[in-house]
């Protein structure tokens, strides 16, 4: 049966050689190679649950009064958009499950991409011939942030409104043309024209997903065409030949298992762990905000950056060249992405190593890369944690101004300390490798000497 299907298809499409190649594609075996796959599977869950949600969501800021199932909101004025999401949560059977799974999937998607990026960085997998693949991956990460932001912003609950207000301020803070850009995106001064909701919606369900999906296809095609990298092995020319399990039959059940397992995790989270209970936040009003409110985790670093920047606007006379939100809201993330994106090229310059690399470094093999990467990561993580300063304020009652000063001090000292320490650790590990090798060589010699006839 299967045989006939393969024949039939090959006669009409010539797919058999390609199919054979795909089935024998070699997967080097290491758990950390699966992080990117998790992101891919989370994306599939996102698309599936997202399509379901669009069948109920109303992208409209038209005012309506709520008369639905959830008692505390009854009689309240709200937008059609907000009402439709409350309805998905309370009146559509399985609606809340799908909605929460969608939200969790978004959080896991970005988390998996970030972990995947860290794996790629610290093992040097971004080197030629995979630097293009790396940049495309980074672009997907860059697109997934506004994608997620648009997704939770279009709900028009109190949290999404606060997030949009900040986004608007960052747009306005662009030098010279900020006011024009802000009005262009929002259609009017904040909170914007009614058509703004359709813009968010089409960006979230069409433009960004199409871009991410396209880049994803290119990313995977490039990975397959250059083959996976692999860790070094003894007695094997890893630079020329890739060793691993073939896609079929060896890898297929594992990858399928990971896909289904990722979906299982997301549905379990979606069913059991509450996320973004918008009926508790209430509909957005410009004049309302709440303390201890958090955006989704992947925007925490931007909130942290905007908090830590000292309070100043760059002015020339009465002309405001750089309003403050630009630093934390736009320049900081641009800089972080630029550093990550330019690293492969900088490293190639500094090390003068322009060769093709199919064998991965262990982090210790490249002490400077690992050390600088760890220092940079520390910097970004500290900024990220400053984004949760309000949780620390609410939960532990640590004064926010004290926290801000502690974070500022740490930002200057900790990355340097971590860089220094990481380099020391790498060099230490290298040394211990050498000692191990020497010992093994000595043991080998001793054995040979013992075996040799006296």
Partner 1 sequence: MRRRSETVVALLLFCSAACAVAFVVFYAIEKLGRNTQYMGLALGGSLAFLAAALIVTGDRLVETEQIEEEYPLPDEAAQEQVDELVADTGRRFTRKRLLGTAAGLAGASLGAALITPAASLGPVLDTDPLTRTPWRRGRRLVDTHGTPLRADEVDPKTFYTAYPEGADHDLIGSPVIVARLDPGRLRLPRDRAAWAPEGIVAYSKICTHAACAVSLFRTPRFPPTQPRPAIVCPCHYSTFDPAEAGKVIFGPAGRPLPQLPLMVTAAGELAAGGNFSGPVGPSWSEVRNRRAT
Q: Which of residues 377-436 bind partner 1 (CB under 8 A)?
A: 389-390, 399-401, 404
Query: Residue 75 gets which letter from DSSP?
Result: T
Max Cα–Cα distance, the chain, nearest Å: 100
453 lines the binding site for partner 1 (CB under 8 A): no
Contact status: 245 vs partner 1 (CB under 8 A): yes
Residue 159 has phi, psi (to 5 degrees) of -65, -45
Work out how close the CB of 210 gets to partner 1 at its nearest, in angstroms, rounded to a whole number. 18
Near partner 1 by CB under 8 A: residue from 119, 127, 307, 369: 307
> Does residue 65 bind partner 1 (CB under 8 A)?
no
Q: By CB under 8 A, what part of segment 324-383 binds partner 1?
A: 324-325, 328-329, 358
> Contact region for partner 1 (CB under 8 A) — 118-126, 304-312, 332-340, 420-428?
304-312
Q: Which is nearer to partner 1, 179 or 442 (CB)?
A: 179
Q: What is the DSSP string of 155-205?
A: T-BHHHHHHHHHHHHHHHTSTTTHHHHHHHHHSSSTT--THHHHHHHHIII
CB of 392 to partner 1, least distance (A): 12
User: Please, which of residues 213-232 interact with partner 1 by CB under 8 A?
Assistant: 225-227
Task: Decide: is 293 part of the binding site for partner 1 (CB under 8 A).
Answer: yes
437 half-sphere exposure, CB direction, 13 A CA radius: 7
Binding of partner 1 by 189 (CB under 8 A): yes
Return the residue of 246, 368, 377, 408 that touches partner 1, per CB under 8 A.
Answer: 246
CA distances from 335 to 133, 237, 306, 339 (A): 20, 38, 14, 6
Q: Can you tell me the distance from the alpha carbon of 155 to that of 88, in angstroms, rounded to the nearest whole number? A: 11
**Spatial CA neighbour of 27 closest among 247, 189, 279:** 247
Q: How far apart are CA 346 and CA 352, in angstroms?
A: 10
**Residue 82 touches partner 1, criterion: CB under 8 A:** no
Q: Which is nearer to partner 1, 199 or 340 (CB)?
A: 199
Whole-number CA gyration radius for the chain: 26
Q: Which is nearer to partner 1, 268 or 346 (CB)?
A: 268
- The answer to whether residue 31 forms part of the interface with partner 1 (CB under 8 A) is no
Q: To 10 degrees, the CA torsion angle through 388, 393, 398, 401?
A: 70
Pairwise CA distance, residues 277 & 300, whole Å: 19
Nearer to partner 1, 193 or 220 (CB): 193
Q: Which of residues 190-209 bind partner 1 (CB under 8 A)?
A: 190-191, 193, 195, 199
Residue 265 interacts with partner 1 (CB under 8 A): yes or no: yes
Q: Which of 290, 351, 395, 432 binds partner 1 (CB under 8 A)?
A: 290
Total residues at interface with partner 1 (CB under 8 A): 102
Return the residue of 9, 22, 65, 188 that touches partner 1, per CB under 8 A: 188
State which of positions 147-176 bind partner 1 (CB under 8 A). 162, 165-166, 168-170, 172-173, 175-176
Q: Rounded CA gap, 164 and 166, in Å? A: 5
Query: Distance (Å, rounded) from C-alpha 285 to C-alpha 157?
Result: 9
């Amino acid at each position: 049966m299967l045989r006939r299907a393969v024949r039939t298809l090959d006669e009409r499409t010539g797919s058999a050689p390609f199919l054979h190649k795909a089935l024998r594609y070699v997967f080097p075996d290491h758990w950390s190679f699966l992080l990117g796959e998790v992101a891919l599977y989370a994306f599939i869950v996102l698309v599936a649950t997202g399509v379901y949600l669009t069948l109920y969501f109303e992208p409209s800021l038209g005012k309506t009064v709520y008369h639905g199932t959830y008692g505390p909101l009854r009689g309240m004025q709200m937008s059609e958009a907000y009402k439709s999401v409350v309805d998905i949560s309370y009146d559509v059977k399985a609606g809340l499950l799908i909605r929460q799974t969608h939200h969790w999937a978004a959080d896991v998607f970005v988390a998996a991409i970030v972990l995947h990026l860290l794996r790629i960085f610290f093992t040097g997998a971004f080197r030629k011939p995979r630097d293009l693949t790396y940049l495309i991956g980074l672009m997907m990460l860059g697109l997934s942030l506004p994608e997620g932001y648009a997704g939770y912003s279009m709900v028009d609950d109190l949290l999404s409104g606060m997030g949009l207000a900040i986004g608007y301020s960052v747009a306005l803070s662009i030098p010279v043309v900020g006011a024009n850009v802000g009005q262009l995106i929002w259609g009017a001064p904040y909170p914007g024209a009614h058509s703004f909701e359709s813009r968010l919606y089409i960006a979230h369900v069409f433009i960004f997903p199409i871009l991410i999906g396209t880049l994803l296809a290119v990313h995977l095609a490039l990975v397959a065409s250059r083959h996976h990298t692999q860790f070094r092995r003894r007695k094997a020319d890893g630079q020329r030949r890739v060793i691993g399990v073939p896609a079929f039959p060896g890898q297929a059940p594992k990858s399928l298992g990971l896909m289904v397992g990722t979906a299982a995790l997301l549905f379990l989270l979606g069913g059991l762990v509450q996320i973004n209970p918008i009926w508790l936040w209430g509909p957005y009003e410009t004049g309302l905000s709440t303390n201890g409110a958090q955006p989704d985790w992947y925007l925490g670093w931007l909130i942290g950056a905007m908090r830590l920047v000292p309070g100043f606007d760059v002015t020339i006379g009465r002309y405001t060249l750089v309003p403050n939100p630009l630093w934390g809201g736009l320049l900081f993330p641009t800089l972080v992405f630029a550093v990550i994106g330019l690293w492969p090229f900088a490293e190639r310059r500094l090390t003068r190593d322009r060769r093709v690399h199919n064998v991965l470094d262990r982090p210790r093999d490249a002490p400077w890369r690992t050390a600088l990467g760890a220092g940079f990561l520390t910097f970004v993580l500290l900024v990220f944690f400053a984004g949760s300063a309000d949780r620390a304020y609410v939960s532990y009652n640590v004064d926010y101004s004290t926290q801000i000063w502690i974070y500022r001090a740490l930002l200057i000292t900790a990355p340097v300390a971590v860089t220094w320490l990481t380099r020391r650790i790498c060099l230490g590990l290298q040394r211990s490798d050498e000692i191990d090798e020497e010992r093994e060589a000595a043991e080998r010699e001793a054995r040979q000497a013992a075996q040799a006839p006296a």
